[in-house]
A = this chain, B = another copy of it.
Amino acid sequence: MIASIGVDIGGTNTCIGVVTPDGVVHDRAQFRTDEYIDGAAFADRLAEVVRALMTCHMAKAGKCDWAGLGIGAPNGNYLNGSIEEPPNLRFKGMTPLVALLTGRLDLAKIELTNDANAAAIGEKIFGAAKDYADFIMITLGTGLGSGIFVNNQLVYGHDGFAGELGHISVIPDGRYCGFGRRGSLENYCSATGIRRTYFEMIAQRGGKTSLDHKPMGEITAKDIADEAYAGDPIAQATMDFTGRLLGEALASTALVTSPAAFFLFGGPVQAGDVLLKPTRISFEKHLIPPFKNKIKIIESALPLGDAAIIGAAALVAS
């Protein structure tokens, strides 16, 4: 039996899974990314969890040929195997994660890419993008990530950093972000950005909300999307504002590579039309005529949490 290991490093959690060639995740483990401020300590923990997961999988499935380990990480660079200047991780600068893991794990192949690139590969191979040569995957998590396919190939760019749409400026002099810049898309349309908009809406409108009973620090973008779906007006206004900004940004991005579709992935997307409807209306409104009524905005077909793991595993399985 053949299997790969997929690792999805997010700003909050690192999720690991064993993936078979049919794209099914068989075992899972996770630990908190934000407990680590040092790349080497993080690599120690990751290697330990991976070894435990391999042992656990073989105990159930028998002997296994390991194709390798694929990693999706914020600002992960496929070309050199490093995480470089990640805005949402506590280990800063350059972390040569593939090199660090090579000394800690006995695996034939260890590769790393951007977490959103990994999700895009997952969508292309196992999800709803199978029949699309030109598409863009958008992931709404702690940040806003993207992976771009052109002519059936993932776009890496000259240095491996293509597809950083979260940093496109959408509101001049807008919210502050990690790089000292202002008004970036991910400050508004990531899961984190949706929370910030929700608090802004409460500030502006006052009054009670359907989440008043919940500890503030535990309120997630998924909660806000769910409350919008259930009819809460402040949550609806939040998702509407998010969708309008996201649609405008996608319309600008469409001008660059002219994709046949955008696939949206992440917790807030699961509430469906409360986000997708304003996004689609704003998207069409901001497109120039030659682009109108041609480009789809589609929910990711990958199960939440698994897209990045499956995509990362596909990096080494293929």
Contact = CB atoms under 8 A, between A and B. Distances in A.
Contact of A256 (B172, B257, B294): B257
A33 B260 CA distance: 32
A253 interface: yes
A260 B158 contact: yes
A84 B158 contact: no
A9 B155 CA distance: 30
A157 B179 contact: no
Interface stretch (A49-57, A201-209, A283-291): A283-291
A162 B294 contact: no
Nearest to A77: B290
B294 A159 contact: yes
A132 B157 CA distance: 11
A293 to B, nearest CB: 11
Interface string A125-158: 0000000111000000000000010110101111
A237 interface: no
Interface in A168-182: 168-169, 172, 179, 181
Q: How large is the interface on A (under 10, 10 to 19, 20 to 34, 35 or more residues)?
A: 35 or more
B150 A255 contact: no
Contacts of A28: none
Nearest to A177: B288
A167 interface: yes
A151 B179 CA distance: 29
Interface string A100-140: 00000000000000000000000000000000111000000
B156 A290 contact: no
B253 A256 contact: yes
A59 to B, nearest CB: 41
A75 interface: yes
Nearest to A291: B161
19 contacts: A75-B290, A84-B290, A148-B256, A150-B150, A151-B156, A155-B257, A156-B258, A159-B294, A160-B258, A164-B255, A164-B258, A164-B290, A168-B255, A169-B248, A169-B286, A179-B289, A181-B288, A256-B256, A257-B257
Interface of A: 75, 84-85, 87, 132-134, 148, 150-151, 153, 155-165, 167-169, 172, 179, 181, 248, 252-253, 255-260, 286, 288-291, 294-295
